[in-house]
A = this chain, B = another copy of it.
Amino acid sequence: MTELEKGPQGRRRGRGARERILSASQQLFREQGINRTGMDQLCAAAQVSKRTAYQHFTGKDELVAEYLRRFDPSVLSGVFDRTDLTPRERLLAAFDIPPTTPLCPYIAAAVELHDPQHPASQYARDYKKAVAARLADTAREAGAADPEQLGEQLALLIDGAAARTRVLNADAFPAAAAIAAVLIDNAIPATAGDDRRREEVSS
């Protein structure tokens, strides 16, 4: 228990201030936005000295970029690595993220930072491309005629639902899922050896 999760070197004797900082970032950046969350408030919420925060991160920009990297495994892998679902169901499962994820933080960061050169913006771009690529992979697995196109289309639907949920303050993912179902059915030829007969959708 003591020597796992080492830092850059191998020491790590402290009491885990970095973790608290990132944990508080997750909460505050999401609740209040990045620009409206000052370092003072963030350090207070993390119960971390301001001096310590700036010893872990060279500046707020680096903290924001690191904050975004914390979303990767939980969302992306958690959906695509489900072997209990058919490829088609996996594509649709990407739209089942209403409760814990009220808004896509990548879009929020890209809009708030408003600088395509910002490290966090670049990472958001990479992440969105990665999601589209994994959707395309799954689409290929499902036997889609044009997997890249379908992946890009589904990614667009996800982003549309996220943006619209934000602006309208109402969940738009069900509507996006409905469109996705149509697109998937249109893209997968019936002759392809795919089992889309297991239509037990959890409702």
Contact = CB atoms under 8 A, between A and B. Distances in A.
A111 B112 contact: yes
Nearest to A114: B33
For this chain, the copies found in one complex come to 2
Contacts of A149: 175, 178
Nearest to A104: B163
Given A107-B111, A114-B36, A168-B129, A174 B155 contact: no
Interface stretch (A14-22, A69-77, A83-91, A180-188): A180-188
Interface residues of A, number: 52
A162 to B, nearest CB: 7
Interface stretch (A48-56, A58-66, A193-201): A193-201
A97 to B, nearest CB: 15
13 contacts: A32-B114, A107-B111, A111-B112, A112-B112, A121-B167, A129-B168, A156-B164, A156-B176, A159-B164, A174-B201, A179-B179, A179-B183, A182-B183
